[in-house]
Amino acid sequence: MNLIEQARLAKKASSSLRMLDSETRNRVLLTFADLLIRNSDEVITANREDLTEAENSGMSSAMLDRLMLNEARIKAMAEGIRQVASLEDPLGKVLEDRVIPSGIRLKKITVPIGVIGIIFESRPNVTADCAALCFKSGNACVLKGGKESYRSCKAIVDAMKEALQSCGVSEDAVMLAERPSHAETAEFMKCREYVDLLIPRGGRNLIRAVVENAEVPAIETGAGVCHVFVDAAADLKMAEEIVINAKCSRPSVCNAMETLLVHEAAAKAFVPQIVSLLKEKGVIIYGDEKARALCDGLKEAEEASWSTEYDDLIMNLKIVSSVQEAAEHIETYGTHHSEAIISEDDESVRYFMESIDSACLYHNASTRFTDGFEFGLGAEIGISTQKLHARGPMGLSELTSYCYRLEGKGETR
Amino acid sequence: MNLIEQARLAKKASSSLRMLDSETRNRVLLTFADLLIRNSDEVITANREDLTEAENSGMSSAMLDRLMLNEARIKAMAEGIRQVASLEDPLGKVLEDRVIPSGIRLKKITVPIGVIGIIFESRPNVTADCAALCFKSGNACVLKGGKESYRSCKAIVDAMKEALQSCGVSEDAVMLAERPSHAETAEFMKCREYVDLLIPRGGRNLIRAVVENAEVPAIETGAGVCHVFVDAAADLKMAEEIVINAKCSRPSVCNAMETLLVHEAAAKAFVPQIVSLLKEKGVIIYGDEKARALCDGLKEAEEASWSTEYDDLIMNLKIVSSVQEAAEHIETYGTHHSEAIISEDDESVRYFMESIDSACLYHNASTRFTDGFEFGLGAEIGISTQKLHARGPMGLSELTSYCYRLEGKGETR
């Protein structure tokens, strides 16, 4: 089926979703989880076909691993779906309830957004994850995964459709794009009539392509050039632990540190020590002139280094003369994701917190905590790095909008 | 100065705005109001030049009236600015304050959006209004008004820049586009580097042009095909008053009713009576077949009629057989702005309220209340008809974003 036709059907289904009660939505999700387990064999067979084709076409082993499903991974997916079912209902929440000057009673209430289009790479688990989050929040969704994972995604969506049907809900609530052409995908991203929101999940190129080509509102997610600033008045032992954690605990994720900024007053005591620890962990470091003067073996940082998201055991190191210079550097080269200051000085901390325009600002903690689960949202559909609608980790609440319901007694104006 | 260069300077100014206290922001606004009054002569002289040029180029009298400024209108502008100054500060509000599982204390705090681009027609009062609302909420703004109002807008912005300077704040916080070319404006709308949000204020063509051409996130405002549905169980006297009010009290605004839907069970008793009252008021009515069978003098509604925003003493009338049919009609032809049900039947009201996807849903009240002042927001920069970020009347809160500030004791993950 054509992708625009799928979007049209999803839009139609979304009107009935808006009226489903919480219990029915949860029943669908629990059934979906059970069916995924029950259909494990079909899912794994479909996945094998995807894997064979991908292998033959020369996919890298890292990508093949992301594409691969086995019993344990299917179990983890089902567990994730059950967890989403157990979360608090984000719909029907009364955000405001007051009487406006005319005497009318105004209630501001959370409602679904409508139809959410999710564009992602060849990772089948994203299918289950997004289908569950969108459905729990009353939204229909159109999922467009990488074409290499189509059979796997289809087996997962088939289970969701079976769950929807068995609970008497329109199957069109979850749509999987059927390997659409580029032209079809481009049209989909402009289809404001049927699609209310686009969320790109994946690498920078994917996100950029969506943001530049979409007319449907899109949320930018995941670009993370995150910074840690070690101030003059830092507890250096704490700084050491946080820097190692922020860089090394999982370098491939967006909340990992890419650039370390060190106050010149702390540089002599801190830099040689941290560089040696980082090197032990295999980290390659690009340093500015001052940093290179303090220790050997640093590569020379270039202008482009400061805005590079390495997603790997590679980082930048720069010596700054003040918290102001640190903040200015972050504003110039950062992606407004997550930044940390390590300091015992209240004035520096205040300046850092108030002057930097990022989604998450940490004092004496690692940037690695920027994550829906760590924030207690129970789930995450992405980390927004834009300022409209949602910022930082997006959970179920961020997949809702609101409306005003006004109760009068015949008021006119 | 080139529009992109103006945006760049506004972005630079926005970092310092983020740190201004509430008192300074209010002092700037009160000074701005005083200076507008003191500079009345200059403003009126500039406006005269605009008016002469516009008249010579054949501008309609309605448009000329919107462009015209006099002492009273300048006083009203100054009053509006003072009122914005008196409103509660939307910044620094703690939306959440909790300890997350890792033990880190998380605060979710309102912050400015950054740089807001506002594109509007030749209405000088919008300049003062938007400059005040953006500045109060800590945002820099780039104002692009219709070229016919340039001199008037410049005189107003000059007063604001003088106020900024006298309070020690960067003048670049408020920028007025200097009659940019179409190409320059197009580039501005794609300039994500310096502009965080675009708000088009004006007619449908302007809004459509912005939404279709922008890469900067834009908020759709103001398109209003609003409906009133008179149910079988309506208090017909109340229905009469609400319908007359919704259509006739100010037909040119977006919250005025464009289509009246009447339940067939109430049609005989209600339709001839309301048609005669509306006709007395000079309203032209396009009716469907059933409506035309009930009374004379209705024009024939065509398919396109139902989605037309007349903004005038013109409307549509349709007889429906149920609240479901009414809701379906609204979902098909409406603009998700404001709809009202007049009914004493709880079940109908519930269905109407829960099934329709509009920003504002009224029970037994006129759609005309959809307005920032009526909602108690104290001000309004527009009425959003989209579902991301803000919906319905947008006041100061809707001009803010939020960030997370996290306070740790050395936590790592």
Nearest residue on chain A to B376, alpha-carbon basis: A100
pTM of the model: 0.92
Residues in chain B with CB shorter than 8 Å from the CB of A217 are: 217, 386, 388
* Contact assignment for B408 to A15 by CB distance below 8 Å: no
Which CA distances in Å does B120 have to A396, B203, B273?
35, 9, 41
pLDDT digit string, tens, across residues B256-308:
999 999 999 999 999 999 999 999 999 999 999 999 999 999 999 999 999 99
**B115 strand-pairing partners:** B140
One DSSP character per residue, B337-360 reads SEEEEE-S-HHHHHHHHHH---SE
Which CA distances in Å does B182 have to A215, B138, B148?
20, 29, 15
CB-closest option in B106, B375, B386 to A106: B375
pLDDT digit string, tens, across residues A231-278:
999 999 999 999 999 999 999 889 999 999 999 999 999 999 999 999
One DSSP character per residue, A157-201 reads HHHHHHHHHHTT--GGGEEE--S--HHHHHHHHT-TTT--EEEEE
What is d(CA A311, CA A155) in angstroms, rounded to the nearest whole number? 31
Nearest residue on chain A to B342, alpha-carbon basis: A410
Burial of A302 (0-12, 13-18, 19+ CB in 10 A): exposed
CB-closest option in B102, B362, B409 to A369: B102
* H or E stretch at A116: strand A115-120
B328 CA: distance to closest CA in chain A (Å): 10
Q: How many CB atoms lie within 10 A of CB A391?
A: 24
Which of B357, B358, B371, B397 is best to mutate for the A interface (most A CBs within 10 A)?
B357
Which of A237, A403, A407, A409 is best to mutate for the B interface (most B CBs within 10 A)?
A403
Residues in chain B with CB shorter than 8 Å from the CB of A401 are: 387-388, 391
Nearest residue on chain B to A15, alpha-carbon basis: B355
* Contact assignment for B18 to A357 by CB distance below 8 Å: yes
One DSSP character per residue, A317-365 reads EEEESSHHHHHHHHHHH--SSEEEEE-S-HHHHHHHHHH---SEEEEEE
Nearest residue on chain B to A327, alpha-carbon basis: B15
Q: Give per-residue burial for A343-364: e unless 16+ CB within 10 Å, then b.
A: bebeebbebbbbbbbbbbbbbb
Q: Which residue has the tokens 């997610």?
A: A221
Confidence bin at B206 (pLDDT 50/70/90): confident
What is d(CA A184, CA A389) in angstroms, rounded to the nearest whole number? 27
B133: helix, coil or strand?
A: helix
As given in the structure block, the two tokens for residue A316 are: 């930048």
Lowest mean pLDDT segment, chosen from A224-228, A335-339, B203-207, B324-328: B203-207
Residues in chain B with CB shorter than 8 Å from the CB of A366 are: 408, 411-413
* Contact assignment for B15 to A357 by CB distance below 8 Å: yes
* Contact assignment for B360 to A406 by CB distance below 8 Å: yes
A260: helix, coil or strand?
A: strand
Which of B113, B352, B369 is best to mutate for the A interface (most A CBs within 10 A)?
B369
Do A139 and A112 form a contact (C-beta atoms < 8 A)?
yes
* H or E stretch at A225: none
pLDDT digit string, tens, across residues A159-206:
999 999 999 999 999 999 999 999 999 999 999 999 999 999 887 788
Confidence bin at B347 (pLDDT 50/70/90): very high
CB-closest option in A113, A245, A408 to B363: A408
pLDDT of A222 higher than 80: no
Q: Which residue has the tokens 């033990």?
A: B103
CB-closest option in B242, B355, B404 to A18: B355
Residue A62 has a pLDDT of: 83
B325: helix, coil or strand?
A: helix
B235: helix, coil or strand?
A: coil
Residue type present at position B214: A
What is d(CA A362, CA A359) in angstroms, rounded to the nearest whole number? 10
* Contact assignment for A408 to B364 by CB distance below 8 Å: yes
What is d(CA B194, CA A241) in angstroms, rounded to the nearest whole number? 36
Nearest residue on chain A to B412, alpha-carbon basis: A366
* Contact assignment for A355 to B15 by CB distance below 8 Å: yes
Query: In B273-398, which ranges are E strands?
Result: 284-287, 299-300, 314-320, 338-342, 360-365, 382-384, 392-394
pLDDT of B103 higher than 80: yes
CA B60 vs. chain centroid, Å, equals: 23
Residue A232 has a pLDDT of: 98
- Mean pLDDT within B53-68: 92
Burial of B48 (0-12, 13-18, 19+ CB in 10 A): middle
Q: What angle do CA B21, A327, B95 make, to 5 degrees?
A: 50
Residue B180 CB contacts under 8 Å (≥ 6 apart), including other chains: B2, B3, B144, B188
What is d(CA A111, CA A133) in angstroms, rounded to the nearest whole number? 14
Mean pLDDT of chain B: 95
Q: How many CB atoms lie within 10 A of CB B328?
A: 15
B364 CA: distance to closest CA in chain A (Å): 5
User: What percent of chain B is modeled with pLDDT above 70?
Assistant: 100
As given in the structure block, the two tokens for residue B353 are: 């309220």
Residue type present at position B329: H
Residue B215 has a pLDDT of: 87
Identify the CA nearest to B324 among candidates B355, B345, B303. Answer: B355
Which of B197, B198, B403 is best to mutate for the A interface (most A CBs within 10 A)?
B403
Residue of higher predicted confidence among A214 and A151: A151
pLDDT of B222 higher than 80: no
Residue type present at position B216: V
* Contact assignment for A363 to B235 by CB distance below 8 Å: no
Do A111 and A402 form a contact (C-beta atoms < 8 A)?
yes
What is d(CA B24, CA B134) in angstroms, rounded to the nearest whole number? 14
What is d(CA B402, CA B392) in angstroms, rounded to the nearest whole number? 20
* Contact assignment for A217 to B215 by CB distance below 8 Å: no
Which CA distances in Å does B254 have to B203, B339, B384?
10, 12, 11
Nearest residue on chain B to A359, alpha-carbon basis: B403
Nearest residue on chain B to A368, alpha-carbon basis: B413
Residue type present at position A131: A
**B407 strand-pairing partners:** A363, B105
Residues in chain A with CB shorter than 8 Å from the CB of B409 are: 364-365
* H or E stretch at B408: strand B400-411
pLDDT digit string, tens, across residues A366-409:
999 999 989 988 888 999 988 999 999 999 999 999 999 999 99
A48 CA: distance to closest CA in chain B (Å): 35
Q: Which residue has the tokens 């080139």?
A: B2
Identify the CA nearest to B116 among candidates B253, B221, B224. Answer: B221
Which of B17, B228, B368, B387 is best to mutate for the A interface (most A CBs within 10 A)?
B387
Residue A48 CB contacts under 8 Å (≥ 6 apart), including other chains: none
Q: Which residue has the tokens 């509000």?
A: B93
Count residue pairs from A and B with Cβ separation < 8 A.
203
Residue B203 has a pLDDT of: 77
CB-closest option in B98, B235, B410 to A241: B410
Which of A220, A406, A409 is best to mutate for the B interface (most B CBs within 10 A)?
A406
Nearest residue on chain B to A401, alpha-carbon basis: B387
CA B357 vs. chain centroid, Å, equals: 19
Residue B10 has a pLDDT of: 98
What's the full length of chain B, in residues?
Answer: 413
* Contact assignment for B18 to A354 by CB distance below 8 Å: yes
Lowest mean pLDDT segment, chosen from A31-40, A279-288, B60-69, B277-286: B60-69
Q: How many CB atoms lie within 10 A of CB B13?
A: 20
What is d(CA A202, CA B230) in angstroms, rounded to the nearest whole number? 49
What's the full length of chain A, in residues?
Answer: 413
Residues in chain B with CB shorter than 8 Å from the CB of A407 are: 363-365
CB-closest option in B242, B388, B406 to A361: B406
* H or E stretch at A372: none
Which CA distances in Å does A45 have to A163, A313, B276, B399?
20, 36, 70, 51
pLDDT digit string, tens, across residues A11-36:
999 999 999 999 999 999 999 999 99
CB-closest option in B104, B114, B331 to A387: B114
CB-closest option in B246, B355, B411 to A366: B411
What is d(CA A3, CA A6) in angstroms, rounded to the nearest whole number? 5
CB-closest option in B241, B389, B404 to A410: B241
